[in-house]
Structure formats: structure tokens, C-alpha cells
Amino acid sequence: MKLRMPVAKEGIPFILIGGLVTFLFILAGMLLPASVFIYITLFIIWFFRDPERETQVKDATILSPADGTVVEVKKIEAEDSPISEKSIKVGIFMSIFNVHVNRIPVTGIIEKITYFPGKFLSADLDKASLNNERNMVIMRNSTGRTIAFVQVAGLIARRIVCKLHEGQTVKIGERFGLIRFGSRVDIYLPEDSELLVSSGDIVRAGKTCIGNLS
């Protein structure tokens, strides 16, 4: 079994900076600010935690792409949907207390990736899905069904990380990126999907089944 770091590598620069500042304060004999930065560094380590998760699912299962709270469940008309058909949008808000590593919701092939520059409104607002900086991924599963998921930057977040590329074959539950310091992930499912979550539900990336494809 391949050993992995318990934190996402994207967090290492922040951890090192926090540790360096703490060390410099200690060298200067400034114990109070050193104590503060020790806690800040520990929080950064905790924020970028990346736990292992086993995924056991059926072929039609759709897993949550993010940890957080479902803040929006909405029907979308075909002309407004990234999958070009009537769909169900599920918005998942990630607070600074959630694991921020994102995971693939279904097994399939990445068809298109589109980045949109934008604002940095609070990610729990519905309008953040259209106005904020975001990265949209459209993929097709083995039976030809199309879904989309969108990483949306939040009020604090300024950096979306997506490691996918078009044409890539991916497996459900695999890590594909993260958003730093508070954000949102929206997922668009075909309208005839069986939806298993509602607003207010707590979900976990790669573990919570949010629906089933027909």
C-alpha cells in the first residue's frame, strides 16, 4: 500500500511559512507571538488534512465531490445547464472547518474543463455559482450519461486547484483537486437521476451517495 502524506501537498507552502515565522519569533525571544503562530500553523495543517477514504459503490452511484453542507437543490432547464439537458443542481458549501480535498463523483471520462474568472462572493450564496471564480468539469460515465461539477471560489478562497485534463479516464472517489480556505462545489445531474440528499444535509467527498443515475 502506497503511503501518502496526511495533508494535501498544496498546503505545504503555507505550513512551512507558518513554521518559519514561529521559529523566527522563538529565536527573537518573542514567545507570545510565537505561541500564536504555533496555533495558526497547527490550524493550517488541520485545514489541509487529506484523510484516506475507501469507496465501495455500485455502477450507477453518484458520490459527493466535496465535504460540506448541501445549501441548494434546484431544477435547471436544459438551456441553462452545463450538461445541455434538464438537470438537478446540488450545491455543497465547504466551510473552513471541512476537508477541502475534492473527489470524482462517478467513474468515466473527462470531456471538457472550463475556467471562468469572477468575483469572490460568499460561497454559500446561490449567486456565487454564476458570479464567482469557478472551474467547470463535464464528464461522461461508462453508460453514456453526462454530469458536471463546478469548483466555486468563496469569500476567502482565491485559488482553485484542479489536476484533471480533457480525455482523462477517472475513477469514482479519486482525488482531483481542492479549493483553498472556504468554498463551494456544485454538481449537475440528469433530471431523471434518483436524488438522495436535500438542503441541510451533511455530505462527505467520496463517501456520501448523493444520488443514482438511471
Whether residue 40 is found in the same domain as residue 68: no
| Inside any domain, residue 3 | no
Q: Which domain holds residue 80?
A: 61-212
Instruction: Judge if 208 and 152 occupy the same domain.
Output: yes
Assess whether 39 and 121 both reside in one domain.
no
What pLDDT sits at residue 194? 93
Say yes or no: 43 and 98 in one domain: no
The answer as to whether 53 is a domain residue is no
Based on the domain organization, do 21 and 121 belong to the same domain?
no
Q: For residue 165, is pLDDT > 50?
A: yes
Average pLDDT of 170-179? 92
Residues 6 or more apart whose CB falls under 8 angstroms from that of 102 comprise 65, 66, 151, 175, 176, 177, 178, 179, 185, 205
Query: Do 37 and 87 reside in the same domain of the chain?
Result: no
pLDDT in tens, 97-140: 899 899 999 999 999 999 988 666 665 566 666 667 889 999 99
* pLDDT at residue 157 in the model: 54
Q: How confident is the model at residue 22 (pLDDT cuts 50, 70, 90)?
A: very high
Residue 165 lies in a domain: yes
Q: Is 174 contained in some domain?
A: yes
The rounded mean pLDDT for the chain is 87
Question: How would you classify the pairing of strands 175-179 and 101-103?
Answer: antiparallel
Instruction: Please give the model's pTM, rounded to 2 decimal places.
Output: 0.85
Are 40 and 136 members of one domain? Answer: no
Q: How many domains does the chain have?
A: 2
DSSP 21: H
Does one domain contain both 14 and 110? Answer: no
CA distance 150 to 116: 10
Q: How many CA atoms lie within 13 A of 177 on its CB side?
A: 23
110 close to 167: Cβ distance less than 8 angstroms: yes
**Taking 50 as the threshold, does the pLDDT of residue 182 lie above it?**
yes
- Options 64, 129, 183, 193, the catalytic residue: 183
Give the pLDDT band (50/70/90) at residue 1.
Answer: very low
Determine the Cα angle at 107 with ends 163 and 135, to 5°: 35
**Whole-number Å distance between alpha carbons of 76 and 188:** 9
Residue 183 is among the residues annotated as catalytic for this protein: yes
Q: What is the pLDDT of residue 156?
A: 61
- 167-188 average pLDDT score: 90
Residue 71 shares a structural domain with residue 16: no
| 52 in any annotated domain | no
**42 within some domain:** yes
**What pLDDT, on a 0 to 100 scale, did the predictor assign at position 9?**
82
Same domain (yes/no): 34, 126: no
Question: pLDDT digits over 27-73, tens only?
Answer: 988 889 899 999 999 988 888 888 888 877 776 789 999 999 999 99
Q: Which residue has the higher pLDDT, 214 or 112?
A: 112
